[in-house]
Amino acid sequence: MKKSYLMIAAAATLLASCASNDTFKEVEEQESAITFNQALYKTTRAYIADEATLANKGGFIVYGYKKKTSEQNWTAAQTIFNGVNVKSTNSGTSWTYDNLRFWDKNGTYNFYAIAPYSPTTGTYSLVNNTAYDALKFKIEGAASAISTASDDYLIDREGATNISGSYTGTSHDVVNIDFHHIMAKIDFKLKSTLSDGKIE
């Protein structure tokens, strides 16, 4: 008797589930994460001369700001990246960061990057951290020689990335960082024209 009750209950549950009109709402637009790719502007005898060295130095720091495309200026911009460490675990082949941020199709963006993430002896800081369209850094340190503990600094301002209008979720999903050296090792050699080899 108890077995028949269980069968009736199961049948009723099955009919109820079939009778319901549950549907999955299709997602109108796929979110696209903000990702980074970088390249180094090659400088002779620079310490950080390739992506692998940059990765070994801890990667780079990103600052990113967003404003509504309809707004004329950046005074009310929203901070998206505030000194976020972008790092690589495969010698600079790809770059990741914690807590993904996603593109806003109604936004215009400014990105800034500085490297390395963890300088050995030097320091850098923001000079005007509310000038979202013209960020400036204060850098204190020495250009690097491989045999010393000083540092080689790289900097880039990617510029405004306007993704208003047509947005497919793939056409604006990579921010290309083009790093340029602002400090690098330079050797000075002096040649004497005197017979005794002295320099006066």
Tens of pLDDT, residues 25-71: 444 455 789 999 887 776 656 778 788 888 988 899 999 999 988 88
- pTM more than 0.75: no
CB neighbour class for 52 (10 Å; exposed up to 12, middle 13-18, buried from 19): middle
Taking residues 159-168, report their average pLDDT.
72
Q: Are 111 and 64 in contact (CB under 8 A)?
A: yes
- Order the strands of the 60-68 sheet from edge to edge: 35-40, 174-181, 154-162, 107-115, 60-68, 78-86
What is the model's pLDDT at position 18? Answer: 46
Burial 127-148 (b: 16+ CB within 10 A, else e): eeeeebeebebebebbbbeeee
Task: Confirm if 179 and 95 have CB atoms less than 8 A apart.
Answer: no
Would you place residue 194 in the very low, low, confident or very high pLDDT band (cuts 50, 70, 90)?
A: low
Place of tokens 């047509």: 166
